Amino acid sequence: MLKKILLVLVALFLVFVVIVALQPSDFHVERSVTVDAPASKVFGEVNDFHKWEAWSPWAKLDPDAKVTFDGPQAGEGSVMTWAGNSEVGAGKMTLVESKPGKLVKIKVDFTEPFEGTSGAQFDFNPEADKTNVTWSMNDDHNFLEKAMCLIMNGEKMVGEQMEQGLTKLKQVSESQS
């Protein structure tokens, strides 16, 4: 009887391994919001890491996180490093491309709780006197990351955080217009 249980557990484990292995390595999450403010205003909130505390979905998870800035105040070359609790971990964001009122690209290097690198991008599309903001994140997952996303639904989890951030970015941008 114990041998049959062990065989079933091994078979279930192997099925799980195959399912994880068949998951795509590419991880892409994208969310959008329309903001009642000009693209230049919304762009300014994203292009300057010093302003992220007002709208970032992760800033409120650990108000005691240590945050430092390096490089220019805003735009290409700006760097923000953080170290916080287990909910926010630690890492570094580098603004790698900045096109005023149009685009912000960021390289995100995580050091805790896991090491990894991903990319984030903000696209700003003017629509009359409003701006459609699209926030996307891209990553290339290894086997362990694919397994974690399968178990925890990483797309849903990250997507919900992005939606919270975009909602707050909208509030901040519209209140200052």
Which ranges constitute the DSSP H helices of the chain? 2-22, 39-47, 143-152, 154-175
Specify the pLDDT at position 16. Answer: 80
From the list 60, 70, 122, the residue with the least C-alpha distance to 92 is 70
Higher-pLDDT residue of 137, 148:
137
For the segment 30-61, what is each residue's pLDDT rounded down to a tens digit?
999 999 999 999 999 999 999 999 999 888 88
Specify the pLDDT at position 176. Answer: 67
Domains in the chain: ranges and CATH: 26-175 (3.30.530.20)
For the segment 79-101, what is each residue's pLDDT rounded down to a tens digit?
999 998 888 899 999 999 999 99
